[in-house]
């Protein structure tokens, strides 16, 4: 519905360039609601990178998996083998089995953000931390 209601007027980029509507671009999106086919307006001009602004409006990531599905993959993958995790998702979400390669790729991509996350927070001040005993 959002795609049908989206503008097909030329897209004005930040540098002032106009990209005309070229056609509708297809995309498959996996969510907890299943495998969803999406068509959305695609803006393109030769020599420029094509844009699909509806992706950003709908908070669709660069890959084809929803954030919640990615979170489920990471949670399951941390505790049980990927193959068993894929079978559990297949049973409950009914859209076919994700390959173990998909699990590996998602977890590896998200793991790249871990160091940056911890670097943004300053370490605690030693004087304010309690002593601990490790046995």
Domain ranges of the chain: 1-64, 66-120
Q: Would you say residue 49 has pLDDT above 90?
A: no
Question: Tokens 């519905």 belong to which residue?
Answer: 1
Average model confidence (pLDDT) across the chain? 87
> Which residue's structure tokens are 């605690």?
124
User: Tokens representing 95?
Assistant: 């859209």
Q: How far apart are CA 47 and CA 75, in angstroms?
A: 42
Q: Which two tokens stand for residue 119?
A: 């670097």
Distance CA 112, CA 121 (A): 16
* The Cα angle at residue 13 between residues 11 and 19, in degrees rounded to 5: 40
pLDDT at 135 over 90: no
What is the pLDDT averaged over residues 8-25?
87
pLDDT score recorded for residue 96: 81
Q: What is the pLDDT of residues 75-134, one digit of tens each?
A: 999 899 999 999 999 998 887 888 889 889 988 888 888 888 888 878 777 777 777 778
Helix (H, G, I), strand (E, B) or coil at 117: helix
When pLDDT is cut at 50, 70 and 90, the band that residue 71 belongs to is: very high
Q: Which CA distances in Å does 2 have to 9, 42, 87?
A: 15, 14, 33
Percent of the chain with pLDDT over 70: 99
């Amino acid at each position: 519905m959002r795609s049908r209601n989206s503008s097909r007027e030329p897209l004005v980029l930040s540098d002032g360039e106009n990209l005309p509507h070229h056609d509708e671009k297809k995309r498959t999106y996996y969510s907890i609601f299943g495998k969803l086919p999406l068509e959305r307006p695609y803006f393109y001009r030769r020599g420029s990178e094509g844009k699909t602004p509806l992706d950003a409006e709908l908070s669709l990531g660069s890959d084809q998996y929803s954030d919640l599905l990615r979170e489920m993959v990471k949670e399951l993958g941390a505790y049980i083998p990927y193959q068993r995790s894929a079978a559990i998702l297949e049973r409950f979400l009914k859209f076919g089995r994700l390959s173990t390669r998909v699990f590996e790729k998602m977890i590896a991509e998200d793991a790249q953000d871990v160091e940056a996350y911890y670097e943004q927070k300053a370490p605690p001040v030693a004087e304010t931390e309690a002593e601990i005993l490790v046995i």
